[in-house]
Amino acid sequence: MSSRDWRKALRSPPAYRVGNRTFKLQTHYITMIAVVGVIVIILLYASVSTRSAETLVSYGLNNEVNRDAHKKYSSCVNNVMYNTTYPLTAPVPTLHGIKYRIGIISDMDKLSKSPDEPHTWISHYRKGYLTWNRSMTPAVSIFWDEGPPKLLKTKYSEKGRGMELSELIVFNGKLLSFDDRTGIVYEIDESGRSIPWVILMDGNGHTDKGFKCEWATMKDGWLYVGSMGKEWTTATGQFVNTHPMWVKRISPLGLVEHEDWHNRYVQIRAMVDIQFPGYMLHESAVWSPVHKKWFFLPRRMSKETYDENTDERMATNIMIVADENFTNFEVKHIGQVIPTHGFSSFKFIPGSHDQAIVALKSEEYQGKIATYIMAFTIQGDILYPETKISDSMKFEGIEFV
């Protein structure tokens, strides 16, 4: 065979005979298909690898640098996966108004150590009903379940203390509470088990101490968790750090971001002419999606230097309202000042269009503890007078469950 015939044979596609039909395979088509197939496989692999890397970043690296990297992921969480059920128990219409299920959670400080079980820490979860009817006087009535509160337990602690639960909130269809010693965020399930979900670390998150959680609220599908909002000082008011002035932002899937709110807290207390070494101590804050504003009910405040002995009598009755950007503020007053009774938690009453609030007040004075509850409008009108609900337990979280 001549060289010309060889070249012709190479250019001609091979022919195959099946029965009495002859097929010719076009080799250049096969080559193109193979190349396209390889490209598709590479793209699919790259896509899977990219998604895995974003997930690793979202879960493993909790810092501001990665916020842009997971914007698409966050949007998916907010718009698709968030469970908006609230309250968890359906309200019941009655002749006296709409009846809601409520729950409160205790922070017993050192008394949280179980006297009966070794290496166990406890909290008390009490439930009841709140009935709301804006056209009646009083507009709010509250009744508690009979019997002792449910006992919640954990084996987790920090330096011998734990289960000092300081807030209660429904987030993503789950009931959560927050240990202000360990920084653990617990899910409280229907059987009363306390299941750790997220651990929050102090300050910017790169510390070895648990975050002192004091308040929590939901905004735009994210859970915001704050601390005292004042500088950490010694018992006599000497500056140590600003770790309690950070806020944690948590996605429904547990991604944690750390936000420095130092300037915001300074602006808030400046509204009542307080500057460091004076202080304002926060244990309750709620974002209102209706008003697009932040509501704060500080527990204590003083224009004087912090002192742990005099602090017990520094309770306040003010409510501070800030717009979303913390540029415009309002200061209002709720009832009378009782120096040892300070706000520890509050929620807007569902169905009130964020016009009515139910709140807890805590008392810690000369070794004695007590808890009070009250309800009022955002204008300061009292709907349910301050009423003692316990003189042996300090409840610091309330929620519509």
Q: Across the strands, what pairs with 281?
A: 300
On the 0-12 / 13-18 / 19+ scale of CB atoms within 10 A, 269 is: buried
288 has binding-site annotation:
no
309-320 residues labelled b (16+ CB within 10 A) or e (exposed): eebbebbbbbbb
Q: Prior bond to 277 cis, omega within 30?
A: yes
259 is in an annotated binding site: no
CA distance 199 to 177: 12
Q: Which residues pair with 365 in a beta bridge?
A: 368
Of 207, 184, 203, give the one whose Cα is nearest residue 247. Answer: 203
Is 344 annotated among the ligand-binding residues? yes
How far is Cα 330 from Cα 322, in angstroms, rounded to an integer? 7
166 is in an annotated binding site: yes
- Residue type, position 274, single letter: I
Residue 158 marked as a ligand binder = no
Backbone angles phi, psi at 269, to 5 degrees: -70, -25
Count how many Cα atoms sit within 13 Å of the Cα of residue 56 in the half-sphere of its side chain: 6
Q: Is 324 annotated as a binding residue?
A: no
Quick check: helix, strand or coil at residue 22? Answer: strand
- Distance in angstroms (rounded) separating the CA atoms of residues 41 and 133: 63
Tell me the HSE value of 113 on the side-chain side, using a 13 A CA sphere: 8
Contact of 157 with 181, CB cutoff 8 Å: yes
Strands, E, within 133-193: which ranges? 140-144, 150-154, 165-171, 174-179, 184-188
In one-letter notation, the amino acid at residue 117 is E
Phi-psi region of 74 (alpha: psi -120 to 50; beta: other; left: phi over 0): alpha
Instruction: Report the C-alpha gap between 269 and 39 in whole angstroms.
Output: 60
Q: Which residues are annotated as a binding site for Ca(2+)?
A: 166-167, 214, 283, 344, 396
Which positions make up the binding site?
166-167, 214, 283, 344, 396
